[in-house]
Amino acid sequence: MANFSPELMRGSLDLMVLSILATGSKYGYLLQQELRDASRGLVDLQAGTLYPLLHRLESDKLIRCKWEASTGRRRKWYELTEAGRKRLSAQAREWHAYAECIRALLAPVADALPRPV
């Protein structure tokens, strides 16, 4: 399966990361794995993209982090703040409306589009 284009993903990375963190605290590698698994392999964020994104979300007060050694080694765990939950909720509503709009716009040509193999 092909990954999505960077242009398509750019506007939704925050939403993706916040949605994965909505299920509980995660350290970076676990977050990468769960994002990949939840997307059935279509979203595979590299560390060079993920960690700057996490730092920005933290500076925006949407997530917070803490260092723990609960897994046998010291790791930085990330979790949503209340502001992060509110942002996730607002962005999720907006993306659902946007996806519905795109679906409606593409409906007239849907039958003419090639089917994935």
Tokens coding 31 = 């977050």
pTM of the model: 0.85
Q: Can you tell me the distance from the alpha carbon of 45 to that of 49, in angstroms, rounded to the nearest whole number?
A: 6
| Structure-token match 């605290």, residue found | 25
Q: Is the pLDDT of residue 40 over 60?
A: yes
Token code pair at residue 10: 């750019």
Q: Which residues have a Cβ under 8 Å from the Cβ of 87 and sit 6 or more positions away?
A: 14, 18, 62
Kind and range of the H or E element at 48? helix 47-59
Residue 2 in this model has a pLDDT that exceeds 60 = no
Span 62-98, pLDDT tens digits: 999 999 887 678 899 999 999 999 999 999 999 999 9
CB 51 within 8 Å of CB 28: yes
Assigned fold of 6-109:
Arc Repressor Mutant, subunit A (1.10.10)
